[in-house]
């Protein structure tokens, strides 16, 4: 039977590359997108390539939207083999930590942190039904306390209160889910894609979206002997 996957924020950037990469392995992939028209355009591109990709309207920051999407997928599928929590935002790279408003910080957390928790919880019954599901949390190099305090790391020069702390927290969430879900055959890992050229950073990265998607795809396809509760990049396990 064909395996199924869901990628949140899948209509552009790294998410789009992950959708394409998973579909190329023969999976049936649902592209989560909050904007229907943009999602439809992105799906059309991949379907023209002969890939099995379908749109799922999904705003990870909206509880009703997530629950509705989960109901739609439950009606269509008996199980879900892969969930990639890719949706994320970076709202401000200028404001110093002491001046970031709590309102703006909450908005970032609503997507980057709570969105991943919300989606994982909503689709959990489908993931459990798989028997060997894989959940990937799209983290960041700034999600590593080790790297952001290491002066030799490129991430040490980044000091974004809301974005950085949301990714550090997401790594902790990854460990929590991994511990709970391991008995169900579900492996949960966080990945950092590297410095990728995306709209998130005004296309200032050095890697292509395809290169940034590689680790997420690898962890989505990890076998029964693969890791869980880890943090990985292109060069292997990353420090917390």
Task: Single out the catalytic residue among 167, 179, 187, 218.
Answer: 167
Is 167 considered catalytic here? yes
Is 179 considered catalytic here? no
List the CATH number of the domain containing 182: 3.40.50.720
Task: Single out the catalytic residue among 3, 12, 163, 187.
Answer: 163
Cα 77 to Cα 5, 59, 99, 154, distances in angstroms: 11, 20, 46, 42
Alpha-carbon gap, residue 132 to 79, rounded angstroms: 10
Over residues 179-223, the pLDDT tens digits come to 999 999 999 999 999 876 555 555 555 578 888 899 999 999 999
Residue 110 dihedral angles phi and psi, to the nearest 5°: -60, -35
Alpha helices in the chain (DSSP H): 13-24, 36-48, 63-76, 102-112, 114-122, 124-130, 145-148, 161-181, 209-220
Over residues 1-59, the pLDDT tens digits come to 899 999 999 999 999 999 999 999 999 999 999 999 999 999 999 999 999 999 999 99
Count: domains in the chain? 1
Structural domain harbouring 194: 4-237
Name the token pair of 27.
């999976």
237: confidence class by pLDDT, cuts 50, 70, 90: very high
């Amino acid at each position: 039977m064909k395996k199924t996957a869901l990628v949140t924020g899948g209509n552009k950037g790294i998410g789009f590359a992950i959708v394409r990469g998973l579909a190329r392995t023969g999976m049936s992939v649902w592209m989560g997108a909050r904007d229907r028209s943009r999602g439809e355009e992105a799906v059309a591109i991949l379907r023209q390539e002969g890939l099995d990709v379908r749109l799922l309207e999904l705003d990870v920051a909206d509880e009703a939207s997530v629950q509705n999407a989960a109901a739609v997928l439950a009606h269509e599928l008996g199980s879900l083999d892969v969930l990639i929590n890719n949706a994320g935002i970076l709202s401000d790279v200028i404001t110093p930590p002491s001046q970031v408003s709590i309102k703006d910080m909450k908005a970032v957390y609503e997507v980057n942190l709570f969105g991943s928790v919300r989606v994982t919880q909503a689709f959990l019954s489908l993931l459990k039904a798989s028997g060997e599901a894989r959940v990937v949390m799209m983290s960041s190099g700034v999600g590593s306390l080790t790297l952001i305090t290491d002066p030799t790391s490129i991430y040490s020069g980044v000091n974004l209160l809301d974005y950085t702390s949301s990714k550090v927290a997401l790594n902790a969430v990854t460990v929590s889910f991994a511990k709970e879900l391991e008995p169900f055959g579900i492996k949960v890992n966080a990945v950092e894609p590297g410095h990728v050229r995306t709209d998130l950073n005004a296309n200032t990265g050095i890697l292509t979206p395809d290169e940034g998607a590689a680790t997420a795809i690898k962890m989505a396809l990890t076998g029964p002997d693969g890791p869980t509760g880890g943090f990985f990049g292109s060069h292997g396990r990353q420090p917390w």
